[in-house]
Amino acid sequence: MADNQIFIFDTTLRDGEQVPGCKLNTKEKIELALALESLGVDIIEAGFPISSPGDFESVSEISKIIKNATVCGLSRAVQKDIEVAGDALKHATRGRIHTGIGTSDSHIKSKFNSNREEILLRAVQAVKWARNYTDNVEFYAEDAGRTDNEYLARVVEAVIAAGATTVNIPDTTGYCLPHQYGEKIAYLINHVKDVDKAVLSCHCHNDLGLATANSIAGAFAGARQIECTINGLGERAGNTALEEVVMVLRQHADLGLYTNIDQTQLNPMSKLVSDTMRMPVQPNKAIVGANAFSHSSGIHQDGFLKDAQTYEIIRPEEVGAETSKIVLTARSGRSALAYRFKNLGFEFNRNDIDVLYDRFLQAADSLKEVQDGDLKKIAHQYTEQTN
Ligand code: KIV
Ligand code: ZN
């Protein structure tokens, strides 16, 4: 295992599936799990087995089918949850139990009516129960983002001593700033005895739009697993988007961190998840949105047509997207218009384009986007008049 590999833990089928309207049946979950495995994710969180008989079945069936990725089931720090998760994972080639408890004072007092010492004991007990089923145990310190670092370090040290092999540091409420989240991971690395016996994991929510930035800050500080979802789906504002972290690490190879993901499958995977979960992707979504490789303003189009790198840091084919688009709107320029005419088989000289551009602008002011059909009409009228 190379030190600089970032393990990709995909939770589309668990945190992502919690999105209202995104519920999946077992057949759909299996189809997505197979696609995630082919994409190259290291760990698939397949569900929360105790939550419903359907989810138990999904985790169990996925465990039988997936051979290369680790299959993970979620549980609370409750004996029955852990037993059921262990049972759902019993056929897995590589199974992992993900168990945990809230560690922030807010969770300790309001959710559990408890105190720090008791929660620490419950955390340790949960890991010990999980170790009865597998030696691959991940512990989550829920709301770690708002947990006091000194106490968090005590919890992390205790669960590692109890046998946790991965420790998840969730920014459950998406509260942290990137430098704070990075400092939290660095604090744990510097203060937890035997921290190198476990992989630290980032699980960041997007309530302030910082989930990807926080996960990257965590990895930069030494975490080696990132928990994420396709299209950034997840509770409330969602989780870290898998496609974003993968491409950040590829674009910034100088960080020296890498993943096993085949990035050419990112767009097909996004579409598969969107279609299966019946959840459209916002057009301006990084990497996988419909506009991620569209150029619409005249200045950008002119630069792009001279050299794509002026306005694109990723080639669409690198991430399995369709070719870049030159979209024609009232903000577009002459070079884009000439380019689109040429693609339609019309060769016009500079003077022609000057006249055609005025006609185009008249059409563009009344249409949101000028399409091929509109352009053909303009071109035919012009050639009839000038011949
Ligand atoms: O956001 C969170 O804290 C979670 C845990 C259950 C890992 O999803
Ligand atoms: Zn979460």
- pLDDT digits 0-9 by tens, 290-323: 999 999 999 999 999 999 999 999 999 999 999 9
- Mutation test of ligand 1: which of 140, 159, 167, 235 has the most ligand atoms closer than 8 Å to its C-beta? 140
- The half-sphere exposure of 201 on its side-chain side, counting CA atoms within 13 A, is 29
Residue 1 has a pLDDT of 42
Using only C-alpha atoms, the chain has a radius of gyration, in whole angstroms, of: 25
- Mutation test of ligand 1: which of 75, 172, 206, 225 has the most ligand atoms closer than 8 Å to its C-beta? 172
Residue 142 has a pLDDT of 98
Helical packing angle, 242-251 and 211-221, nearest 10°? 50
- Listed in sequence order, the residues at least 6 apart from 360 whose beta carbon sits closer than 8 Å to its beta carbon are 328, 337, 370, 375, 378
Phi, psi of 134 (to 5 degrees): -160, 155
Which ligand gives the minimal distance to the CA of 45? Answer: 1
CA–CA gap between residue 284 and residue 250 (Å, rounded): 20
* Stretch 129-154: mean pLDDT: 98
Residue 187 has a pLDDT of 98
Beta bridge partners of 169: 202
Phi, psi of 268 (to 5 degrees): -60, -40
* Stretch 373-378: mean pLDDT: 98
CA–CA gap between residue 129 and residue 125 (Å, rounded): 6
Task: Say if strands 95-102 and 137-142 run parallel, antiparallel, or are unpaired.
Answer: parallel
Domains and their CATH numbers in the chain: 2-277 (3.20.20.70), 294-386 (no CATH)
> Do residues 227 and 9 touch, judged by C-beta distance below 8 A?
yes
Q: Where are the alpha helices (DSSP H) in 94-138?
A: 105-106, 116-131
> Do residues 223 and 196 touch, judged by C-beta distance below 8 A?
no
CA–CA gap between residue 387 and residue 369 (Å, rounded): 28
Residue 3 has a pLDDT of 87
**Measured from the CB, is residue 142 less than 6 Å from ligand 1?**
yes
pLDDT in tens, 235-280: 999 999 999 999 999 999 999 999 999 999 999 999 999 999 999 9
Structure-token pair, residue 261: 């993901």
Beta bridge partners of 326: 295
* Separation of CA 257 and ligand 1 centre (Å): 24
What does pTM read for this prediction? 0.96
